[in-house]
Chains A and B, each alone.
Chain A
Amino acid sequence: MIEVNNLCKNYGIHNAVDNLTFTIEKGKVYGFLGPNGAGKSTTMNILTGCLAATSGQVTVGGFDIYEDAVKAKKLIGYLPELPPLYHDMTVIDYLKFVAEVKGVKKSEMSEKLADIMEKTQIADVSGRLIKNLSKGYKQRVGIAQALVGDPEIIILDEPTVGLDPAQIIEIRELIKNLGEDHTVILSSHILSEIRAVCNHILIISHGKLVANDTPENLEAEHGADLETIFLRLTGAVPEVQEVTEDAGNI
């Protein structure tokens, strides 16, 4: 569904994304892992056409994200790191706006939006102004927005941030269900979440891809659990040891 070839993004001399190459296949749930500042959000912004790459190529469903931007973007629903919400609109007006831009037919609109609001459990706040919603609700409106128009690929940047434990479980269930007939890419800091939801894992560190496999294969190959693998691959292990040693001294 998505082909990424030699993708680079430089901010001045800093390489935020350094020569990434990977393929996203149809119908899988991908977990995108990496420490803070590894380039996860930058990569996701490039995949969705929000940001231009310095070099390299991204094609979505065969369409180049720059050359055929409109066709490529039709296939994607995206929740950025901060949900892009218009605070002066009501939830339903906001979703209607997104649906209209995505070309959802008028005759099907209210039915489809009702379905999405039920899935993300925001139906009870549909008439409220977005600025008056709690963080968890805002996050769910952001997810709902990504689902509008039934895109084949859904990209979620840290979808469970700001949710309470019960909501996290619901959203995980939702993502699992979405994975049955959609391609999903989600980034997260919570390894147990990735383990529970994803059937393929990409780990990036300092803008480079350091792992690209199923969780089972990774664990078998390294002979350790996901957490240890993550710390080892992203070079965080020595620091962690230092901290624990320091803690011991105190």
Chain B
Amino acid sequence: MLAIFKREFKSYFTSMTGYAFAAFLLLFAGIYTMSVCLVGYFANFEYAIGNMTFIFLLIVPILTMKVFAEERKQKTDQLLYALPLSMTKIVAGKYLALLGVMLVPIAVISVYPLILSMYGNVSLKISLLAVFGFFLLGAALISIGMFISSMTESLPMAAGISFLVILLNYFLPSFATYLPAGSELLSSLSLFNCMDDFVYGLFDLGNIVFLISVAGLFFFLTVQSLEKRRWS
């Protein structure tokens, strides 16, 4: 598993993917920090983070599209299947590498509140909680993107479908208001909604469990989708 993790993590930074992901995330974090904290005079870094979750719509599909689709296209999946590794370990190695790639820019972002606190009264606790929530949200969305990538060998298809699925989830609360009944249930399925509580400084275990469960569910589905492919 460690070997898979190392290979994958390195491959994101020998190609453009890892850099593009980090660059966009940092660019938007910079813009929002500037507009909310520096120009807007808010000492709340969590507002900046809370406002930029939509960036996942674009950067998660870019990151996850090739994770399995590329292997299938290049036939390198046959190597992974023939090596003495269980499917769960293959997927775990790859998923951890994806999380690792996301952690690089997020580690940089978590320094921002420290810098801001030199110039104002920043609540480090709430700011870092928001960053933590941001990471969990990303982890859940990456798991969904990984599952979609495991179902196709076309990279554009994997990216496009991941984008649409995440987009649908993003707008779920607004769509839900048109429903005659059950709108609350439907909007509670939106992963992006969890972020609000983190931004208000609420350490709600329910949100954390929900995001981790979604990540776990799609991790499991990825393993199943790859196992199924061997049987068809």
Assess whether B7 is in contact with A48, with CB atoms less than 8 Å apart. no
Residue A59, interface by CB 8 Å: no
Give chain A residues whose Cβ lies under 8 Å from the Cβ of B77: 84
Residue B81, interface by CB 8 Å: yes
With A69-B84, A86-B76, A100-B2 given, name 5 new contacts (CB 8 A).
A48-B81, A51-B230, A73-B84, A84-B76, A101-B85
Give chain A residues whose Cβ lies under 8 Å from the Cβ of B230: 50-52
Q: Name B residues whose Cβ lies closer than 8 Å to a Cβ of A.
A: 2-4, 6-7, 11, 14-15, 74-79, 81-86, 230-231
Residue A39, interface by CB 8 Å: no
B63 → chain A, closest Cβ, in Å?
16
A114 → chain B, closest Cβ, in Å?
19
State the total of A-B contacts with C-beta under 8 angstroms. Answer: 68
Give chain B residues whose Cβ lies under 8 Å from the Cβ of A139: none
Assess whether B7 is in contact with A49, with CB atoms less than 8 Å apart. no
Q: Name A residues whose Cβ lies closer than 8 Å to a Cβ of B.
A: 45, 48-52, 69-71, 73-74, 76, 78, 80, 82, 84-89, 97-98, 100-103, 145
The docked-state distance in angstroms from the alpha carbon of A232 to that of B160 is: 52
B222 → chain A, closest Cβ, in Å?
18
Assess whether A50 is in contact with B81, with CB atoms less than 8 Å apart. yes
Assess whether B3 is in contact with A97, with CB atoms less than 8 Å apart. yes
The docked-state distance in angstroms from the alpha carbon of A97 to that of B9 is: 13
B-side binding surface: helix, strand, loop or mixed? Answer: helix
Give chain B residues whose Cβ lies under 8 Å from the Cβ of A103: 84
21 A-B contacts (beta carbon < 8 Å): A49-B81, A69-B86, A70-B86, A73-B84, A73-B85, A76-B82, A80-B75, A80-B82, A84-B77, A84-B78, A85-B74, A85-B76, A86-B7, A86-B11, A86-B76, A88-B14, A88-B15, A89-B11, A97-B6, A103-B84, A145-B79
Assess whether B83 is in contact with A82, with CB atoms less than 8 Å apart. no
The docked-state distance in angstroms from the alpha carbon of A101 to that of B83 is: 7
The chain B residue sitting closest to A12, CB to CB, is B232
Assess whether B83 is in contact with A102, with CB atoms less than 8 Å apart. yes
Give chain B residues whose Cβ lies under 8 Å from the Cβ of A89: 7, 11, 14
Q: Kindly name the residue among B2, B14, B78, B82 whose own CB sees the greatest number of chain A CB atoms within 10 A.
A: B82
Give chain B residues whose Cβ lies under 8 Å from the Cβ of A73: 82-85
